[in-house]
Structure 1
Amino acid sequence: MTHAVHMLAFEDDPHVIALRWALERMGVPVVHSTGLAQWRGREIGVEIGPGHARLPDMGDAPISVWNRRPQAPKPKPGLPQDEAFLAGEWRTFYENLVATAPQLLPSFWVNAPAAAWNAENKLLQLVAAREIGLTFPDTVMGNDAGAVRRLAQNGRVVFKAFRPHAWQEEGGVAATTTILDNDHLPDTRVIEFCPGIYQRYVEKTSDIRVTVAGNRLLAVRLHRRSREAYVDWRIHVLDKDFFAEQITLPAALEQRIQALMASLGLVFGCLDFVVDADGAYQFLEINQAGQFLFLEDMIPDIGVMRMMASFLAAGARDYSVVEDASLTMAEFRASEAYAAMADRLHIDEPSIV
């Protein structure tokens, strides 16, 4: 099974189910594990010595490993007095696997576990972006109320949480992206209570989503047909006013995006930009395990599913996209694989976000 693709994610991840369907139509075997410590559902033991380092009895190395959204191991049941020790041992063992997985399993990793782990660091992203010349809004991270107030002196700021979250409130969902101004900042004690990300607000005309898979990228402009741009487009994708179109980025920006990917050690990622009133692209963040199939629901001929399936099947940064026109979200939604998934997950609407 040397040409298999191995996927690491929770069992019912819709992106994994969709890409498995696409790869199997291409004749590429797919293996699934929930995480590094549950490789093919087996117990795991790393054997290492002066002349060897391996995961025994794990079969041939796959052509690629899609480190999609792996699950950390859960400690096995034990005595109450042992719970803290067991949790610590499992956590440390998992960290050991994350640091060494590409050496133990020499496949093409999308993305390598250590790089994926580091790329979740929002501050590290901005430091890397600054070094390669990407423009981004002035930012304060932390809980220093004085620094936040200085940032807000010259205009509005956007508050974001470090991790995606939404609260269900009366009348709908409340997102964590909020616009604040100098006259309406939270009380000092509120700012100091919890660290957050505060960025100078950009008077934007649209949002840009860039999906990078190896040497290829797809860029989409996201905006509403009328009025100003959304504060947070993610909670408006089902709005009637929402509009998406594929675009071509300036060559210099594409080069900087690839430089950022290389700096972070990533081969796949979903990047968010905004376009300001002067037409300049402002970088916001990169999600190394971002969602991308929703783009094909919005723009049916964009081919993001074919691109990603071709990338995983090739096991290399440089690859060609297969010409099979049936590898689409529309065909997947008409498949038995989608019907089974929709039944398990109680999906009523024919879409994946």
Structure 2
Amino acid sequence: MKTVLLLSRPNDIHATAVAEALRRKGVDCLLWHTADFPTRATETVRFEKGCRSVHVRGPELEFSEQRIGTVWNRRPAVVIDPQRIHPADHEYVDLGCRTFRRSLLDTLAPEAFWVNPHRAVERTSKLRQHQLALEVGLEVPDTVYTNDPREIRAFLREHGGQIAYKPFKMTAWRDDAKYYMTYTSRLTEAQLIEDELLSMVPGIYQELVPKAYELRVTMMGRRAFAAKLCSQETREGRLDWRRADPDELRMEPFELPSEVAEQCFALMQGLDIVFGCFDFIVRPDGRCVFLEVNQAGQFLFVENDAGLPLLDAFAEFLRQGSVDFEWSPDRVSVRYAEVKDAALQRMERELALHVREPETTWYEGPSVPPSPRTSNL
């Protein structure tokens, strides 16, 4: 049996839970903590006598690509230890490591089933998603991607003086008491900052679509697993469900229309990916409005809250390595609730053995920030 290779980092409960699920299904699985490179791991590609070979060696890890049948390209990382190099060399070292890693992943295990292909991952931008969504027939909100204050103000006026603002990438700040995140926000012209600052940062400006509820659709190949998110029942999550109190946000399984599932798969084909977590708004008249697809999205929280057996299905998806994998909800053998404790224990052990990513949250407080927290999602 071929090996399933998981590319992630030591504080990723999704990777450890999937590894535990595969182990319980009798699947040979390797968890590659990619952040160990270059501090605690070596990566080598050799071309000799007309042949190519790859060797990766690190804590609890050694493999060659011939064994690999499926690769879950979950969340690879490169971490440079600033204590080991001169500050003037950091950019040079970082560029070299990332360029080499990108080249390695572009060519690693070419015969394997990749979830998702590395080259495709770098081409799943929001603008490209939006364009392809239109091409496959999905309904999308009126949206402007811009740093032009004139365009922003005109778009606001065209949409009744209120729109939604979204950053291209979520950013976080923290002090000793709180974390601050950039969620979707309601925006009026009175709230706009001066044009000089508006033009410095491109943003996503979108019409406010009326909501009955929202959908989280996890696509594994051709299979769609949909959950209804009752965001409009919450206090803080009506505009962005991620802001809702987890105990307040009700989720339940949802039967996705076959036409929407087919459009989702067509969009993934356009992006050259085989897995994605889709977010939709459902209008009061029942129409589904596409917002985005995350090619490395979270799905365990959906199993936890909506009861969908996503972990078992995903483990089979990786084991079989096909967009047309066979799976039945009547033959579920692994549940997240059953493996969570074992996965958390493994994650805690591996945090001591492997390189963690540095804190990326902008810290505002005393000169020495407190230790970063670890998510147990």
| Interval of TM-score (by shorter of Structure 1 and Structure 2) | 0.7 to 0.9
Q: Which runs of 5+ in 2 are unaligned?
A: 56-62, 352-374
CA distance in 2, matches of 1:279, 1:124: 26
- Give 1:259 deviation, angstroms: 0.4
- Give 1:284 deviation, angstroms: 0.7
CA distance in 1, matches of 2:269, 2:172: 32
Of 142, 146, 156, which aligns to 1:142?
146
Q: Tell me if the contact between 1:212 and 1:269 (Cα under 8 Å) persists in the aligned partners.
A: yes
- Give 1:296 deviation, angstroms: 1.2
Of 53, 60, 63, which aligns to 2:66?
60
How far does the alpha carbon of each residue in 1:267-323 deviate from its partner, in whole angstroms, 9 at most, with x for none? 0110111012332111111110000000111122x1111110110111111111266
Q: Equivalent pairs: percent with the same residue? A: 32
Aligned positions, number: 340
CA distance in 2, matches of 1:37, 1:8: 11
TM-score (norm 1): 0.86
Of 171, 192, 202, which aligns to 1:195?
202
CA distance in 2, matches of 1:285, 1:337: 29
How far does the alpha carbon of each residue in 1:311-339 deviate from its partner, in whole angstroms, 9 at most, with x for none? 01111111112665441122123x44434
Q: Are 1:118 and 2:123 matched, yes or no?
A: yes
Q: Are 1:243 and 2:250 matched, yes or no?
A: yes
1:13 matched residue in structure 2: 12
Q: Any residues of structure 2 matched to 1:164-183 within 5 Å, and which?
A: 164-168=170-174, 173-183=180-190
CA distance in 2, matches of 1:146, 1:225: 32
Label 1:47 to 1:37 Cα distance change in 2 as closer, same or farther (>3 A).
farther
Q: Any residues of structure 2 matched to 1:1-353 within 5 Å, and which?
A: 2-35=1-34, 38=37, 42-48=41-47, 51-56=50-55, 58=64, 60-72=66-78, 74=80, 77-103=84-110, 106-119=111-124, 121-153=125-157, 154-155=159-160, 156-168=162-174, 173-224=180-231, 226=233, 230-240=238-248, 242-300=249-307, 302-321=308-327, 325-333=332-340, 335-339=341-345, 341=347, 353=377
Select the structure with the greater relative contact order (CA < 8 A; seq sep ≥ 6): 2
CA distance in 2, matches of 1:50, 1:344: 38
CA distance in 1, matches of 2:337, 2:183: 32
- Give 1:165 deviation, angstroms: 2.9
Q: Tell me if the contact between 1:9 and 1:68 (Cα under 8 Å) persists in the aligned partners.
A: yes
Aligned-residue Cα RMSD (Å) equals 2.9
Label 1:291 to 1:112 Cα distance change in 2 as closer, same or farther (>3 A).
same
Decide which moves more: 64-73 or 164-173. 164-173
Q: Tell me if the contact between 1:36 and 1:94 (Cα under 8 Å) persists in the aligned partners.
A: no
1:348 matched residue in structure 2: none
CA distance in 1, matches of 2:174, 2:314: 33
- Give 1:185 deviation, angstroms: 3.1
Q: Tell me if the contact between 1:73 and 1:94 (Cα under 8 Å) persists in the aligned partners.
A: no
Decide which moves more: 79-88 or 18-27. 79-88
Amino acid at match of 2:4: V
Q: Tell me if the contact between 2:116 and 2:274 (Cα under 8 Å) persists in the aligned partners.
A: yes
Amino acid at match of 1:110: V
CA distance in 2, matches of 1:213, 1:28: 19
TM-score (norm 2): 0.81
CA distance in 1, matches of 2:270, 2:49: 31
Label 1:158 to 1:283 Cα distance change in 2 as closer, same or farther (>3 A).
same
Decide which moves more: 313-322 or 167-176. 167-176
CA distance in 2, matches of 1:172, 1:92: 32
- Give 1:24 deviation, angstroms: 0.4
